[in-house]
Amino acid sequence: MKVTIDQTKLVDVINWVSRSLSSRPIQTALLGIVLEADQNRIYLSSTDHETASKANTEAEVTTPGKVLVPGKLLSDIARSLPNKPVTIQLDGTRVLVNAGTAKFTLPILPINEYPNLPDMPEVLGSLDTETFNHAVSQVATAAGKDESLLSLTGIHVEVKGENITMAATDRYRLAVRELTFNPARPNTEAVALIRSRTLLETTKALTNAKNINIALAPTTSNDRLAGFQTETKTTTTRLLDGTFPPYRHLIPQESLTTTVIEVAPFLEAVRRVALVTDKTIPLKLTFAGNTVTLEAGGGDEAQANEVFEIQKTGEDLSIAFNPNYLLDGLHAISAPYAQISFNTAGKAAILMGKKEANSTAIENFRYLLMPTKFAY
């Protein structure tokens, strides 16, 4: 095998497949990236048995061939090379990588031990990549990180017709995002639970594609896979076991108190007052008239409070939140103004974004935040 490729294109495809390299492989071959050159394209692939990634790009192929090389080493080398054409050549039991005056020799791994990668599941439809990336980042904010509660580390994806609903929760907050896409066929329906970290890493790596295809294996399939595909890149990942908890009934349909807050200065106020806590001690918010008073600390410990102007309709109330979770929600709504609604002081708050203080709330994303006890 001998192939010449632009250095930036090489880095791009290596970055994509490197996400699926195994950090603790059960076999040596899983440390590698497969390189296959044929018909003026180079194809790369990798897997850790949970996810599998493939990418291809144009290249000048002198001699077709296929080889397995250490993935992390290849990635480090590719990023360090000068921005010049890169030649990759199989030479017996070694792979030579040259760019300008830089020359590297890599060992090869046993390609006969490399597993067959799963096929892409059935494509359900497509949507704008930027929209999908933003939606995933919003929902992933609330996903759990406790691996002992595996189903809560995932994002629940429900497809029904032209609508996709994604939800995630760690039991202390819940994020729900609704969006539309272009279904491959009418009356499409599917449900999947996808690891949040995998979905987030996949979308972050999709920087150049205009559209993304979403694929899910049928519930009757033994593979239980989700897939994401652009023109030159694909990723498949195994679905999480377990059941995502019912959540729709948790979202209040009515509110006794509704407030509108300018996000940027309110974020700064929350950060200032939370300085006297360890970021897990509750932050108390007292809504009265057209102000909210932020309080933290107490007793013999450090204390802080700040009064912030708001718009409010409905009853006065006091409530406390984990300051980190509140900050996460304010960032996730991605809007200049936040509408925070309460049905009672002891129940969850619902955060939604607003473009203007007096405009309609953006209802396609809701961040539900459970209150905590304020003990000072």
3-state secondary structure 114-154: CCCCCCCCCEEEEEEHHHHHHHHHHHHCCCCCCCCCHHHHE
- Determine, yes or no, domain membership for 193: yes
Above 70 in pLDDT, residue 113? Answer: yes
* Non-local CB neighbours of 362 within 8 Å, separated by 6+ positions: 333, 335, 352, 353, 354, 355
Mean pLDDT, rounded, of the chain: 93
Q: What is the pLDDT of residues 125-174, one digit of tens each?
A: 999 999 999 999 999 999 999 988 889 999 999 999 999 999 999 999 99
Residue corresponding to tokens 């990942």: 237
- What is the Cα–Cα distance from 19 to 123, expressed in whole angstroms? 22
Q: Are residues 154 and 255 in the same domain?
A: no
- Determine, yes or no, domain membership for 29: yes
Output the pLDDT for position 219.
66
**CA-wise closest residue to 166 among 199, 205, 188:** 199
Question: What integer is the mean pLDDT of 55-62?
Answer: 96
Burial category of 314 from C-beta neighbours within 10 Å (exposed 0-12, middle 13-18, buried 19 and up): middle
Q: Which of 113, 140, 170 is the last residue of a domain?
A: 113
Question: What integer is the mean pLDDT of 10-33?
Answer: 92
Q: Which of 248, 264, 283 is the last residue of a domain?
A: 248
- Determine, yes or no, domain membership for 107: yes
Domain hosting 208: range is 123-248
- Determine, yes or no, domain membership for 153: yes
Q: Are residues 244 and 135 in the same domain?
A: yes
222: left (phi over 0), alpha (psi -120 to 50) or beta: alpha
Q: Are residues 263 and 169 in the same domain?
A: no
Q: Are residues 271 and 364 in the same domain?
A: yes
Question: What integer is the mean pLDDT of 78-100?
Answer: 96
Q: Are residues 241 and 262 in the same domain?
A: no
**Percent of the chain's residues with pLDDT above 70:** 98
Which has the minimum average pLDDT: 18-27, 176-185, 213-222, 259-268? Answer: 213-222
Q: pLDDT-derived band of residue 376, with 50, 70 and 90 as boundaries?
A: very low
Q: What is the pLDDT of residues 355-364, one digit of tens each?
A: 999 999 999 9
Q: Which of 248, 275, 310 is the last residue of a domain?
A: 248
pTM (predicted TM-score) = 0.91
Output the pLDDT for position 48.
93
CATH at residue 301: 3.10.150.10
- Determine, yes or no, domain membership for 167: yes
Number of domains in the chain: 3
- What is the Cα–Cα distance from 353 to 338, expressed in whole angstroms? 5
